[in-house]
Structure 1
């Protein structure tokens, strides 16, 4: 896979109460990824950027919500998130900026 492409696959970690709960319970980390990312690309990107070993990846497509803007209505963008399951003993610490 092209290393330049892998650097663009991950957009941001998803930080929320649900993401923290999933990280504690299942050892999974949630990332926002680009719309056309595949599981092997996400796995390779996480391993390249954070120097960890990835066990598995699950991907979910999130539909954009309908929202009102004044009198009119609009739709937020669809986006994709990836649940990354690391091997036991592996950890990503975002506070220090990388692998622990």
Structure 2
């Protein structure tokens, strides 16, 4: 189809009256409203509940509260000190049970021990394992330093 055929077709079209266009716009049907309500309810149900008796204390030692970790809390990332035997799936389950939030991802970091010296005596400051837990948008964890 050439360039000249397009202009002829545009001229031939009749403008649609505004009354007909307004008549086409209808209120959403009752069925559509019920379906949207069901999806909202299903989203609300997806939040896991806190558990009273859990084994989270075997995985998580304590939350790490530092300047950097409080900055990451604004990005829905929280830092916890965990036991050396803990893995990502255990940390995910423990945070979900303990705080009742949806966990998106878990990153684990082994922080090495540092060499320390007092006078002529040298020693080591022990290392630890920490987990950076990302949670779903719109959720938060209330962590109090102490």
TM > 0.5 between the two?
Answer: yes
Structure 2 gap segments, 5+ residues each = 1-53
Matched, 1:15 2:65: yes
Residue 77 in structure 1 maps to residue 97 in structure 2:
no
For CA contacts below 8 A with separation 6 or more, give which structure has more relative contact order.
Answer: 1
Q: 1:45 — aligned with what?
A: 94
Whose helix proportion is higher, 1 or 2? 2
Deviation at residue 8 of structure 1 after TM alignment: 1.7
Greater share of residues in strand: 1
1:90 is displaced (CA, Å) by 1.3
- Give 1:12 deviation, angstroms: 0.8
Give the RMSD, CA atoms, in angstroms: 1.3
Aligned to 2:112: 63
1:77 and 1:51 map into 2 onto residues whose CA distance is 32
- Aligned pair count reads 91
- 2:97 and 2:118 map into 1 onto residues whose CA distance is 41
From 35, 42, 47, the equivalent of 2:84 is 35
Question: What TM-score does the superposition give when structure 2 sets the normalisation length?
Answer: 0.59
